[in-house]
Amino acid sequence: MRPQRRRLLLAAAASPWARGAGADEGAVLPGRILHFPRDFGAHAPQPLEWWYLTGLLEAPAPAGPTVLGLQLTFFRRRTAVDAANPSAFAAHELILGHVALADPRRGALLQGERIARAGLGLAGAAAADTDVTLDHWALRRDPLSGVYEGRARTGAFALDLRATPTQPLLLQGDAGYSAKEAVHAGRVAASYYYSEPQLALQVRLALADGAPGEPPWLRGRGWLDHEWSDALLPARAAGWDWGGFNLDDGSALTVFQVRAKPGGAALHAYAALRAPHGLVQRYPAAQVQWSAQRLWQSPRTRARYPVVQIIRIDGRRFETRPLMDDQEFDARAGSGIAYWEGACELWEDGRRCGSGYLELTGYAATASPGV
């Protein structure tokens, strides 16, 4: 996409809800019951939505297998264009796509981005089930098997993936209502939010500088988040730290904190641990503490990201260890955002206990994903 057209599309999206000052239309309120398969699909009343799939893959290498990290995310974003505008060219909604590959052998992230207005056969998100398209990128869920199929193409690599659920849905927060702050001024920033941990991944990855021939299917474990909201972050928030980790015993750990500005103190925190047999333990904010152990400074944005974190949850102590430090997704030349999205191992009591993704936003002098 030409830079001028991209900037025009993003300017059209600069509406008040993006910073947490939305109207009552599409408000996220407690008590709503999520219904499936309908809630796998898009939610037009909410102006912000994303489908976020991550995973770690085992890839063959001459010196032995290596681990790769993979992110494929689609955003649906309503714009400030008048909804009554009947033109087929009016950008009422934008669809954005991010894809990234973390390969420790390279030491730097391979990434790609797409953006287009919804409609005209170019891009869109269906309401009945997960079915997001963006040019030649896509993420679709088969309604019979529940299997997700995704694809993306960049100048550096192309991928096709299958993500097969092995566990039931995990409704985050209170039956899918996920608060992002305590009650403040009579309003709470929140989203509707569910996860699908412990996905069985099959990924065919073709690298532009790779060996010729049909690439093999790689296997691994993945995680899918789907959130939709009217104002995901409080107006007084600077960003968030989030983690979704598949534990080796079959458990699944979700944890996040929303940071205030200035100073970075936590406005709100949350954790949920689902055991292999399905019992979910949710922890109040007072039992969840994050502390940065090591910072990495981006040579591009100069942002300093806490890439190694100690996360304490009700007496347990977890540590995140990135596959590599440079996992900053730098899309300033496109959608104008930069954030750290990193494949990590998770350790507890001196041993590896799982793996997943850590997301750090609001550290670079740009907006966070989706806002």
Residue 249 sits in a domain of what CATH number? 2.40.370.10
Region 189-202: what's the mean pLDDT? Answer: 96
The phi, psi pair for 16, rounded to 5°, reads: -60, -35
The answer as to whether 371 is a domain residue is no
What's the full length of the chain, in residues? 371
Query: Is residue 268 situated within a structural domain?
Result: yes
Q: Residue ranges of the alpha helices (H) in 134-276? A: none
Bridge partners (DSSP) listed for residue 138: 133, 151
Residue type, 261: K
* Within-domain flag for 370: no
Tell whether 147 is covered by a domain. Answer: yes
Asked whether residue 119 is assigned to any structural domain, the reply reads yes
Token pair belonging to 66: 């290596």
Kindly report, residue by residue over 223-252, the tens digit of the pLDDT.
Answer: 999 999 987 688 888 899 999 999 999 999
Token digits for 161? 């993936």
Neighbouring C-beta atoms of residue 66, cutoff 10 Å? 15
Q: Structural domain of residue 157, as residue ranges?
A: 3-360
pTM here is 0.90
Rounded distance between C-alpha atoms, residue 131 and residue 40, angstroms: 9
368 is a domain residue:
no
Q: What is the pLDDT of residues 148-168, one digit of tens each?
A: 999 999 999 999 999 999 999
Q: Is residue 369 one of the residues assigned to a domain? A: no
* Residue 223 token pair: 């995680």
**In which residue are the tokens 């079959």 written?**
250
Q: What is the C-alpha to C-alpha distance for residues 23 and 91, in angstroms, rounded to an integer?
A: 20
Residue 238, classed as helix, strand or coil, is strand
Q: What's the token pair of residue 208?
A: 């532009």
d(CA 94, CA 166): 32
- pLDDT score of 85: 56
Q: Does residue 366 lie within any of the structural domains?
A: no
Q: Could you tell me which residues are beta bridge partners of residue 75?
A: 50, 96
Q: How many CB atoms lie within 10 A of CB 326?
A: 20
Predicted confidence at residue 262, as pLDDT, reads 64
Looking at the structure of the chain, the number of domains it has is: 1
